[in-house]
Amino acid sequence: MVAESAGRVGIVFVSHSEKIATGLVELARQMAPTVRLAAAGGTDSGGIGTSFEKISVGISAANDGAGVVILCDLGSAILTAETVRDFLEEAEQDQVRIVDAPFVEGGVAAAVAAETGGDLDEVVAAAQSALHVMSEATLAIQPPAATGVSRTVILINKDGLHARPAAEFVNLASTFSVPISVNGTDARSLLSIMSLGLARGSSVQLTSTDPAAGPAINALADLLESGFGEQ
């Protein structure tokens, strides 16, 4: 269950259920098609539990030289993953991180961060951001500064900013160096944007305090107005 990549951080999903791990890889692949994603779910015989061998194989499959992030569904899965990591060479251990983060939300956020070229620390941080993203989403919308720029658009695609278009939006936002917010939340945070629940017909305010952000704001607004091919 691996998607090929070139020089990106890989991700291993360790679950007690083979179907859950495989399903999460399928979900994450929709938003991170070039990242190496490996499912390590269930026991060697296909039962409920975890497998030293599957996790070991998953790490090898996901590793493209930029490091590997492991996310686990339950505590005992973490113990198995830690045992596998302990058997690696010391240099390899430094490149394998086991992250304590929500399995689905953290995994998706990590995959998108890897897709946008984040390094190992950045991918780990993206996964961990899922722990507090809901509180961030409740922040009040901040108006643009007097010297900043803003643009408001209406979502037209059928399902609004669900996972795939949200990831496409974040990928584009991550290419700009200027700060940009979407209805008061960071345009580069997939989970924050998805937690806004922006459906078809929703008003989306893009703002930046940087007066040079006009081209970035317009590019993102144009993407939203395109409907992501889903009208």
- Rounded Cα distance, 167 and 28, in Å: 10
The residue from 16, 85, 97, 151 that is catalytic is 16
Q: What is the pLDDT of residue 54?
A: 97
Q: What is the pLDDT of residue 135?
A: 47
Q: Is 162 a catalytic residue?
A: no
| Largest Cα span, the chain | 63
CA-to-CA separations, 71 to 47, 163, 181, in angstroms, rounded: 19, 19, 28
Q: What is the pLDDT of residue 198?
A: 86
Residue 34 near residue 3, CB atoms below 8 Å: yes
- Rounded Cα distance, 222 and 42, in Å: 44
Q: What is the pLDDT of residue 51?
A: 96
Q: What is the pLDDT of residue 142?
A: 47
Percent of the chain as helix, strand, coil, to the nearest 5: 45, 15, 40
Give the chain's residues under pLDDT 50: 2-6, 134-135, 137-145
- Domains of the chain are 10-130 (3.40.50.510), 136-229 (3.30.1340.10)
